Structure 1
Amino acid sequence: MIALINGNIMTMAGPIYQKGSIIVKDGQIAAISPDSSPASGASGEQIIDVSGKYVLPGFIDAHTHIGLYEEIYAIEGDDTNEASDPITPHLRAIDGINIEDLAFNDALQSGVTTVMTGPGSANVIGGLSLVMKTCGKTADQAVLKNPVGLKAALGENPKRVYGDQKKAPMTRMATAALLRETLTAAQNYGAKIKQGENDPDKLPDRDLKMEAMLPVIAGEIPLL
């Protein structure tokens, strides 16, 4: 058990406690007090005086490519963009994350305890992002929610990446058209699956790209 005392505690959900205390038990906050008394009195308690310091909850970074675009590696550590097809909704960040990326520890040491990470913006639809902690022995252990959203891009990146390859999208018009076309195809795929619930002969062939789009069509996850 650890007691942090005499800190300026910013709870983010109420008043700031000046010279307050926090009790941490088994790695989790057990109690917060507006005064400096550790309060618990438990044996083996470690008391840390944080006078003059601010104590805040862990920061959340809602847009990263951590674990996919690794800190010290080049080609072997860059799994951010699958720039071979502008429509890749079936790609999953969890399949590419390297939990050994040094950026996780850098983030944690800077107070960032939770991140959303996922594919980059090269593709019109890039793949499924997730939310995870910045600590853990495996990516599966660190994940909090997967998937949390589907990456999409309307800016200059798809134009730049595929324009250099002399293939669509080379304009914002083509980017919007591809996105619209894919959303419509996913709607149609979902309708066929629903028809197949009563008539198996009407079930479409399995399409992993369209399957990944269905949670977006259903409003279960957003386009990011």
Structure 2
Amino acid sequence: MILLKNGTVYTMDEAGVFVGDVKFDQGKIVAVGKDLSTDGCEVIDCTGKNIYPGFIDGHSHLGMQESSIRFEGDDVNEMSDPLTPHVRAIDALNPMDETIHNAACGGVTTVCSGPGSANVIGGTFAIWKTNGHVIDKMVINPMAAMKCAFGENPKRVYSDNKIKTRMQTAAYLRETLMKTKEYMAKKALAGDDISKQPAYDMKLEAMIPVLEKKIPLKTHAHRADDILTALRIAREFDVLMTLDHCTEGHLIVDEVKASGFPAFVGPSLTDKSKFELKNLTFATAGILNKAGVKIALITDAPVIPQEYLPLCAGLACKKGLAEMEALKAITINPAEILGIADRVGSLTAGKDADIVVSDGNIFNTLTNVNYTFINGEKVYQF
């Protein structure tokens, strides 16, 4: 049993922020409070230090595009077909790449990573912890969301023969959703009679959880018109959706708010590398947050190295996002959006012991992470 003693505890739950202790054992938080008993505990003095829940990035490609390597380690985009809902991130994740340990050293303990934005439908994202050597033992949810993409990327990748306009991108997605509805209806009508079942279609099978609202469409959309197209299709088919990147969300804040969908905002610590990023600003997160949109901040790693997630939150503060809201945006908010708040996102008894100890405000560039614990295991010490 480990006791973190006398630190400033950012619980991210109703207990708020206070100077106190966090006790954990066998991978779970046992108690959070003041003057907790030290009996039977390994005590770590956290006087003058901050104690946070492990940080969570809700959209990256960690483990899929390896460090210091080219095509051999790049498994982000399956660019053989614009429609690949049947591919799964878990089959491409390499937990032994150095970027995973770097993430943990920076306090990022949970990520949702998956396919890139080359395809109209790219496949499923997985949620996993940044410690271990076997991805099957690290994963929280192997099929957490279905990636889809609007805007420049599908047009660029498939401009030679399949996609030349945004109209075609939207049409591909609509067609796949309609075919899935038809496929589901045929399966239901056939019941248990295998002779009447439609021919097995792996792609359509993968889309069924989307139409059953078991997983959301994880929607890559930067420009305002692309965000609106995504929302239009979500309404047409009554599906769940997260607005990933949402770069121009601040220009259509009322529509984003009215949708009820959360936004994974970022990456903002990058150059305007293409036209659809011309309105990129760290102010987006604060504007959406003030309007009542649930936001989480992302790195899109390796676009921004995964360990710089807290830095991105700090820069969003500089542009108007309140400090506690920024902290929520890398802890409890992504946990709730991803459906894993019963395990992570706050320092609450019963949750996983994913804990970060730092020697100052985590948004400050001079602050060091002193300890990172994942499932109660000390995976990094400064």
TM-score band, normalised by shorter chain? over 0.9
What does 1:65-214 correspond to in 2, within 5 Å? 65-163=61-159, 166-197=160-191, 199-214=193-208
After the TM superposition, which segments of 4 or more aligned residues of structure 1 sit over 2 Å from their partners?
14-19, 198-202
Tell me which moved more, 92-101 or 46-55. Answer: 46-55
Are the aligned partners of 1:61 and 1:116 in contact in 2 as well (CA < 8 Å)? yes
Which fold has the larger relative contact order, with Cα–Cα distance below 8 Å and residues 6 or more apart in sequence? 2
Query: Secondary structure at the residue paired with 1:56?
Result: strand
Whole-Å separation in 1 of the counterparts to 2:18 and 2:96: 38
Whole-Å separation in 1 of the counterparts to 2:73 and 2:170: 30
What is aligned with 2:288? none
Residues 113-155 of structure 1: CA distance to partner in whole angstroms, max 9, x if unpaired? 1110110000000001111111122000001012111000012
Residues 37-59 of structure 1: CA distance to partner in whole angstroms, max 9, x if unpaired? 341412xx322111221100001
Unaligned runs of 5+ in 1: none
Q: CA deviation at 1:24?
A: 2.2
Whole-Å separation in 1 of the counterparts to 2:29 and 2:196: 54
Specify the code of the residue in structure 2 equivalent to 1:215.
P
Which of these two proteins has the greater Rg computed from alpha carbons? Answer: 1
Specify the code of the residue in structure 1 equivalent to 2:195.
D
Q: Using structure 2 for the length normalisation, give the TM-score.
A: 0.55
Are the aligned partners of 1:66 and 1:101 in contact in 2 as well (CA < 8 Å)? no
Whole-Å separation in 2 of the counterparts to 1:167 and 1:220: 33
Whole-Å separation in 1 of the counterparts to 2:29 and 2:58: 23
Q: Using structure 1 for the length normalisation, give the TM-score.
A: 0.92
Specify the code of the residue in structure 1 equivalent to 2:19.
K
The size of the alignment, in residue pairs, is 218
Tell me which moved more, 10-19 or 83-92. Answer: 10-19
Tell me which moved more, 89-98 or 18-27. Answer: 18-27
What does 1:22-101 correspond to in 2, within 5 Å? 22-34=22-34, 37-42=35-40, 45-101=41-97
Percent identical residues: 46
Query: Secondary structure at the residue paired with 1:121?
Result: coil
What is aligned with 1:5? 5
Query: Secondary structure at the residue paired with 2:158?
Result: helix
What is aligned with 2:237? none
Aligned: 1:20 with 2:16 = no
Are the aligned partners of 1:132 and 1:143 in contact in 2 as well (CA < 8 Å)? yes
Residues 136-181 of structure 1: CA distance to partner in whole angstroms, max 9, x if unpaired? 2200000101211100001211011111xx1221210110011111
Q: 1:138 to 1:198 in 2, by over 3 A?
A: closer
Unaligned runs of 5+ in 2: 219-382
Q: CA deviation at 1:16?
A: 3.9
